[in-house]
């Protein structure tokens, strides 16, 4: 599949004058740049001088992101990439987003992984995509057939985030999904134009009163944190912590949570699962609580044993994947395990971890916490 239209909202002078063309030419299709900023239109028209397939539409008045995106959106003949001028996509990211979009006919939109890491980073070890609660952001690939089904963004909303949330819910009512392509990297050069103000407006709540709860439910579990952690783990050698981290502790300080003591209760297990770190468990205390041990070991990236006999027993008793059970006889061997789980994380363990965390969280009493801005962005 090829992108037919790339819409660039140029509210400020673009960092890269032909960025819109470069992204669109990768897909070998038309490129339509809708400009709110006169200076931006002039610059892009200069680029158009030697780019025959670049079409520049100048808004007579600054319409803002949503109206500008709609103007280009309704000109598309196939899938459309909505792109702000301050976003830079990594090499191969557009192709990866297209493949994810068409991996299922139920996917309505795909966003890249927003990261300030190197755009050339190898993300082959992370889950290819993660469902996100809303199609927000400054870079979004939209399926053309969905636009035909539900239309574009509603200009009745003053804030772009609300308009995107509304579009998301309309698509979900048709049984469609919104995902993040975890192996497609995007860098935003300027976050100053992000929406500010209340989390949501009265109009959004009037139309979709259950949106906050649905969005919060979409963030349950550890999986939304896995990719951010994987990116952070590439910034230096593996670092290990032995204690469950406090809320808000930076990801880059440690990459591995090493637990050598038994897990005593479900609350403690949930704290481990919600940690942003890869989990490595020692086999000590195996007989104290078999149910918790089973749950914890299947959620861990690696389980450490002291001998081949113990390894074989553990695999047989708990039906573990042999690739996740390691025999460690020295500190050097433990370091090797830490490197392995950081460099080659197990996708099946991450998904099991997410499902188990969702289940344990559902058992807890109390109302859901207010939806935070970072929650709806999919982290």
Q: Are 19 and 40 in contact (CB under 8 A)?
A: no
Specify whether the CB–CB gap between 252 and 228 falls below 8 A.
Answer: no
Quote the CA–CA distance of 255 and 301 in Å, as a whole number: 12
Average pLDDT over residues 99-112: 94
pLDDT digits (tens, 9 = 90+) for 253-281: 788 999 988 888 888 898 888 887 889 99
pTM: predicted TM-score of the whole model, two decimal places: 0.71
**What domains can be seen in the chain, in order of their start residue?**
5-218 (3.90.550.10), 227-363 (no CATH)
Lowest average pLDDT, out of 56-65, 69-78, 125-134, 227-236, goes to 56-65
Question: Is 1's pLDDT higher than 70?
Answer: no
Q: Per residue in 192-213, pLDDT tens?
A: 444 444 456 788 888 888 888 8
Q: Which residues contact 122 (CB under 8 A, 6 or more apart)?
A: none
**DSSP assignment of 25-45, as one string?**
HHTTS-EEEEESSHHHHHHHH
d(CA 298, CA 318): 8
Q: Which of 133-142, 189-198, 324-333, 347-356 has the highest mean pLDDT?
A: 324-333
Cα–Cα nearest to 80, from 9, 158, 176, 182:
9
For residue 8, give both structure tokens. 């660039």
Q: What is the pLDDT of residues 213-250, one digit of tens each?
A: 877 776 665 666 667 777 777 767 788 988 876 666 66
115's enclosing H/E stretch is none
Name the pLDDT band for 287 (thresholds 50, 70, 90): low
Whether 298 shows a pLDDT value over 60: the answer reads: yes
């Amino acid at each position: 599949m090829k992108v037919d239209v790339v819409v660039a909202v140029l509210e400020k002078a673009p960092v890269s004058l032909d960025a819109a063309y470069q992204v669109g030419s990768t897909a070998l299709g038309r490129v339509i740049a809708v400009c709110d900023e006169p200076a931006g239109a002039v610059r892009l028209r200069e680029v158009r001088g030697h780019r025959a397939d670049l079409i520049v539409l100048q808004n007579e008045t600054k319409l803002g992101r949503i109206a500008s995106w709609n103007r280009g959106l309704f000109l598309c003949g196939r899938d459309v990439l909505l792109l702000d001028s301050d976003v830079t996509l990594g090499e191969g990211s557009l192709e990866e987003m297209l493949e994810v979009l068409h991996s299922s006919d139920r996917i309505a939109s795909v966003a890249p992984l927003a990261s300030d890491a190197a755009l050339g980073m190898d993300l082959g070890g992370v889950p290819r995509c993660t469902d996100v609660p809303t199609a927000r952001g400054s870079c979004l690939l939209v399926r053309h057939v969905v636009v035909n089904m539900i239309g574009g963004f509603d200009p009745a909303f003053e804030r772009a985030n609300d308009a995107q949330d509304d579009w998301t819910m309309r698509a979900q009512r048709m049984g469609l999904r919104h995902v993040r392509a975890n192996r497609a990297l995007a860098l935003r050069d300027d976050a100053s134009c992000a929406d500010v103000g209340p989390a949501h407006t009265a109009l959004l709540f009037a139309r979709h009163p259950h949106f906050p709860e649905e969005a919060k439910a979409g963030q349950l579990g550890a999986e939304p944190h896995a990719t951010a952690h994987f990116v952070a783990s590439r910034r230096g050698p593996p670092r290990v912590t032995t204690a469950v981290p406090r809320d808000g502790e930076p990801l880059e300080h440690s990459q591995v949570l090493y637990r050598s003591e038994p897990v005593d209760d479900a609350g403690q297990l949930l704290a481990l699962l919600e940690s942003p770190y890869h989990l490595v468990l020692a086999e000590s205390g195996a007989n104290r609580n078999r149910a918790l041990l089973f749950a914890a070991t299947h959620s861990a990236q690696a389980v450490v044993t002291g001998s081949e006999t113990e390894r074989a027993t553990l695999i047989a008793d708990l039906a573990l994947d042999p690739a996740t059970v390691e025999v460690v006889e020295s500190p050097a061997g433990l370091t090797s395990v830490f490197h392995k789980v950081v460099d080659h994380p197990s996708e099946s363990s991450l998904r099991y971890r997410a499902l188990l965390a969702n289940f344990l969280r559902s058992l807890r009493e109390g109302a859901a916490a207010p939806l935070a801005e970072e929650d709806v962005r999919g982290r």
